[in-house]
Chain A
Amino acid sequence: MNKIIRYVFVDLLRNKTIIFYTLLLFALSVSVFSMEDNYEKGLVSLLNIVLFVVPLVSIVFSSIYLYNSAEFICLLVSQPLKRGNIWLSIFAGLAGTLCLSFFIGVGIPTLLYAFSSSGLILVGCGLLLSVIFVSIALWTSVLIRDKSKGIGLAILLWLYFGLLFDALVLFMLFQFSDYPIENFMVGLSMFNPIDVCRILILLQLDLSAMMGYTGAIFRDFFGNALGMSITIAVLFLWAIIPLWLSVRYFKKKDL
Chain B
Amino acid sequence: MIEIQHIFKDFGKFKVLKDINLSLNGGECVALIGPNGSGKTTLIKTVLGMVVPSSGIIKFDGENIQNKYSYRKEIGYMPQIGQYPENMSIGQVLDMMKDIRKMPEDQLDLDLYHAFNLPALLDKRMGTLSGGTRQKVSACLAFLFNPKALILDEPTAGLDPLSSEILKNKIQKVMNENKLIIISSHVLSDLDDLVSQIIYLQEGKLMFHKSLQQLKIDTGTDKLSKAIAQVMSVPNQTK
Contact = CB atoms under 8 A, between A and B. Distances in A.
A81 B69 contact: yes
A82 B79 contact: no
B94 to A, nearest CB: 12
A207 B72 CA distance: 59
B105 to A, nearest CB: 17
B77 interface: yes
Given A70-B83, A74-B50, A254-B52, 11 more contacts: A11-B87, A72-B85, A75-B85, A78-B48, A79-B101, A80-B69, A80-B100, A81-B69, A81-B100, A83-B69, A254-B50
Interface of B: 11, 45, 48-52, 67, 69-73, 77, 79, 83-88, 96-97, 99-101
Interface of A: 3, 7, 11, 68-72, 74-83, 251-255
B72 A72 contact: no
Contacts of A254: 11, 45, 50-52
A15 to B, nearest CB: 9
Contact of A7 (B77, B86, B96): B96
Contacts, number: 58
A252 B49 CA distance: 10
Contacts of A78: 48-50, 72, 77, 79
Contacts of A3: 96, 99-100
Given A3-B99, A82-B69, A254-B11, A77 B50 contact: yes
Contacts of A68: 86
B145 to A, nearest CB: 10
A83 B65 CA distance: 13
A141 B71 CA distance: 28
8 contacts: A3-B100, A72-B84, A77-B50, A78-B72, A79-B72, A79-B97, A82-B69, A253-B52
B69 A75 contact: no
A241 B107 CA distance: 43
Nearest to A6: B99
Nearest to A85: B69
A71 B86 CA distance: 9
B49 A77 contact: yes
A216 to B, nearest CB: 53
A80 B96 CA distance: 13
A255 B51 CA distance: 6
Closest 10 CB pairs of A and B: A71-B83, A80-B72, A80-B73, A72-B85, A254-B51, A255-B50, A82-B69, A78-B77, A78-B48, A79-B100
A248 to B, nearest CB: 13
B51 A71 contact: no
Given A78-B77, A79-B97, A80-B70, A252 B83 contact: no
A11 B83 CA distance: 17
Contacts of B96: 3, 7
Contacts of B51: 254-255
A13 B85 CA distance: 15
B79 A80 contact: no
A225 B77 CA distance: 56
Contact of B52 (A11, A71, A76, A252): A252
A143 B227 CA distance: 44
Contacts of A83: 69
Contacts of A69: 85
Contacts of B69: 80-83
A92 B185 CA distance: 39
Contacts of A75: 83-85
Nearest to B138: A75
A60 to B, nearest CB: 20
Contacts of B99: 3
A78 B73 CA distance: 10
A83 B88 CA distance: 22
Contacts of A77: 48-50
A74 B52 CA distance: 14
Nearest to B53: A254
A75 B126 CA distance: 13
A69 B126 CA distance: 13
A81 B101 CA distance: 9
B232 to A, nearest CB: 28
Contacts of B85: 11, 69, 71-72, 75
A83 B84 CA distance: 18
A80, A83, A251, A253 — which one has the most chain B CB atoms within 10 A of its CB? A80
B77 A74 contact: no
